[in-house]
A and B are shown apart, each in its own frame.
Chain A
Amino acid sequence: MVDMAPSSSGVPNAAFGIGKGSLPWPIATFMSTLPLAPLEIAGNQVLRTALDCRPGMFSRLDVYSGKLFAIDPVDCPFVFLLEPRVENPSLRVRTSLDGVSWDARISAVMLVLLGLLDGTYDGDALFFTRDLVIEGDTAAVLALRNAIEDAELDPGLLLGAPNLAAPIVSGSIRRAANVMRRLLGAPTSAQVPVGTFP
């Protein structure tokens, strides 16, 4: 485990607005006034839905399923702490990583992290262009990335849309996300070609 203080990473948690595709600072400021509990509840609901649809998702992590991942949307006033245990995984939300001993940290702007979750982005290409920063246990990060890649986590699926409606929901969300990425200047060239997903 790595004792983490945000100041030691070079990607400070409080550095909202860094990176291509950052959410506008008024949004980040507004989010900082909101309680974290609803976000944590929603995050856990998404996690449960994903595991209901893809029960074997975290088994691909093998020995790394017990690691603690700090997933850090650098343009948002919170971080996610994921423990992808095969049995009883957990997702917590914190305002910072102060005092948290994580095994691996994955940092990028929120739109990029969401794009990695649903396979819109290629992680290696984002790493080459420095739009994605990883620290700590590199093997654990790779295992998580590969597990998520294989799970094919469509947005519609994650939001619990019924089977028939899921592709429509996914398509709408992806189109909206692409518009936001374009407007905010997020990396576009590491994305899957338009039309690959429904």
Chain B
Amino acid sequence: MELVCPAGTPSALRTAVDAGADAVYCGFRDETNARNFPGLNFTPQELAQGVAYAHDRGAKVLVAINTFARAGGTNLWHRAVAQAIEARADALILADLGLLAWASRAYPAQRLHLSVQAAAATPPAIRFYAERYGIKRVVLPRVLTVNEIAGIVAEIPCEAEVFAFGGLCVMTEGRCLLSSYATGESPNMNGVCSPAAHVDYRQEGTTLAARLGGFTIDRYSAGQPAAYPTLCKGTFMVDGKANHIFEEPTSLNVLEILPALKAAGVSALKIEGRQRGKAYLAAVVRQFRSALDALEAGRTLPASTLGALTEGGRETTGAYKKTWR
């Protein structure tokens, strides 16, 4: 299985490649990618340099252009596709139907991957993208069991990539409106859920209050692990009780089920976290590199040492091992 790792900056790209990534994914410094955070991402020149660095060391670079193009503003997305190809990107990760159609016509030789933002989770949907636009790989949503993934892989004419570590999104990706509700901006259109400009942390005595778009979405008492300020991980009052109704702050980690994912026919594992630093990248990429090498060699897999890098200090195999359906 290919190890696909995040890179929010050129420095992160080099760190990921040096730590053993088979491929690195990144995006431009604008709304064309779904991690459009301040200070993050690549200029076209930085991308070209990053691709050269990766290629020199046998790694690939995948460029995420995976938001949905604005009406009247499609030139920005078309230009991003052209710039990524000019930089010699190995594949483009797209979600927008119109952009997929345009890119597949304008650059028929370019390898295209279907972003998780497209929320394609059934064989007919994935086959449509493969047959119509020639996508070579689909990134599957994080809501499927391993058995469901195996069933899908058996019926699609392209590779399947699944999330392996990091943020755990339980929404129908590309269609989540929670962030829009609170801030007027969304990952689908603007490239950010919980845009940092709408996030506010306040110390209230020993309690940390996290606010998004003016809504207090959680409070953490002294010593309690904090989470990303997303509405899906907020605390809500239901029947008089405060609880996490969408998802609890926790991180996905599939280390213990790598053999099952391989048996299911998964082609690539995606590490989440373009917003994370080099310390995270080096630790996670090294651990997964070591685990995948052990898996290939038939050795015992290493135990996870990544707990402290996780959100809420907790790890989960998420829907991959869900037992409630």
Q: Does B9 contact A (CB under 8 A)?
A: yes
Q: Of all chain A residues, which has the CB nearest B200?
A: A138
A121 at interface by CB-CB < 8 Å:
yes
Given contacts A10-B205, A11-B203, contact A122 B280 (CB under 8 A): yes
Across-interface contacts of A191 in B (CB, < 8 A): 279
Query: Is B202's beta carbon under 8 Å from chain A?
Result: yes
Contact assessment for B286 and A62 in the assembled complex, using a CB-CB cutoff below 8 Å: no
Interface string of B297-321 (1 = CB under 8 A from A): 0000000000111111100000000
Give A108 to B135 CA distance when docked, in angstroms.
46
Q: Which of A140-198 contact B (CB under 8 A)?
A: 140-147, 149-152, 187, 189-193, 196
Interface SS majority for chain B = mixed
A120 and B281 CA atoms in complex are apart in Å by: 11
Q: Confirm or deny: B145 has a beta carbon within 8 angstroms of a beta carbon on chain A.
A: no
Number of interface residues of A (CB under 8 A): 43
Which residues of chain B are near A146, meaning CB under 8 Å?
8-9, 37-40
Our pick among B226, B278, B282 for the contact of A128 (Cβ within 8 Å) is B226
Give the B interface residue count (CB, 8 A): 49
B323 within 8 Å of A (CB atoms) = no
Q: Please determine whether B226 and A143 come into contact, CB atoms closer than 8 angstroms.
A: no
Q: Which of A9, A64, A192 contacts B279 (CB 8 A)?
A: A192
Pair A149/B208 contact, Cβ less than 8 Å: no
Q: How far is the CA of A137 from the CA of B38 in the complex (A)?
A: 11
- Asked if B9 and A150 sit within 8 Å, CB to CB, the answer is yes
| B11 CB-CB contact with A under 8 Å | yes
A-B residue pairs in contact (CB < 8 Å), sample of 19: A10-B206, A62-B39, A120-B279, A125-B279, A125-B309, A133-B208, A138-B200, A147-B39, A149-B8, A149-B9, A149-B11, A150-B9, A150-B11, A150-B39, A191-B279, A193-B282, A193-B283, A193-B286, A196-B279
A-B pairs, top 5 by smallest CB distance, nearest first, are A10-B203, A189-B308, A146-B39, A143-B39, A139-B196
15 extra A-B contacts, CB within 8 A, seeds A64-B38, A120-B279, A128-B312: A122-B276, A123-B277, A125-B310, A127-B226, A128-B225, A129-B225, A129-B308, A130-B220, A135-B203, A139-B38, A139-B199, A143-B38, A146-B8, A150-B9, A190-B309
